[in-house]
C-alpha cells in the first residue's frame, strides 16, 4: 500500500503516471529551452556597432 488504498472504491490517482508525466515534461521543457536558446530565429541579423564621436572620445576623462 505504498501509493494508494486499493479497497476505497475511488479510482486510483496514478502516482507513477503523474511522476512519469512530470519527468517527461521537465526533460522536454529543458531540451526545447536549449534548442530555443541556440537558434537565431528571433535575433537581429545586423551587427550592432557603437558609434563614437572622435572629438569627444579623445577629450573624455
Q: What integer pLDDT is reported at residue 32 of this predicted model?
A: 93
Report how far apart, in Å, the C-alpha atoms of 4 and of each of 17, 21, 27, 61 are.
13, 18, 27, 72
Q: Which of 17, 36, 37 is nearest to 25 (CA)?
A: 17
- Taken as a whole, the chain contains a residue count of 61
Give the model confidence (pLDDT) of 15-53 as tens digits: 889 999 999 999 999 999 999 888 876 666 566 666 777
33 within domain boundaries: yes
43 within domain boundaries: yes
Structural domains in the chain (count): 1
Across the chain, mean pLDDT equals 76
Tell me the residue range of the domain where 34 lies. Answer: 15-59
52 within domain boundaries: yes
19 within domain boundaries: yes
5 within domain boundaries: no
Amino acid at each position: 500500500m505504498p501509493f494508494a488504498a486499493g479497497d476505497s472504491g475511488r479510482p486510483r490517482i496514478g502516482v507513477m503516471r503523474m511522476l512519469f508525466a512530470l519527468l517527461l515534461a521537465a526533460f522536454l521543457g529543458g531540451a526545447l529551452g536549449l534548442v530555443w536558446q541556440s537558434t537565431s530565429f528571433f535575433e537581429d541579423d545586423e551587427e550592432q556597432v557603437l558609434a563614437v564621436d572622435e572629438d569627444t572620445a579623445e577629450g573624455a576623462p
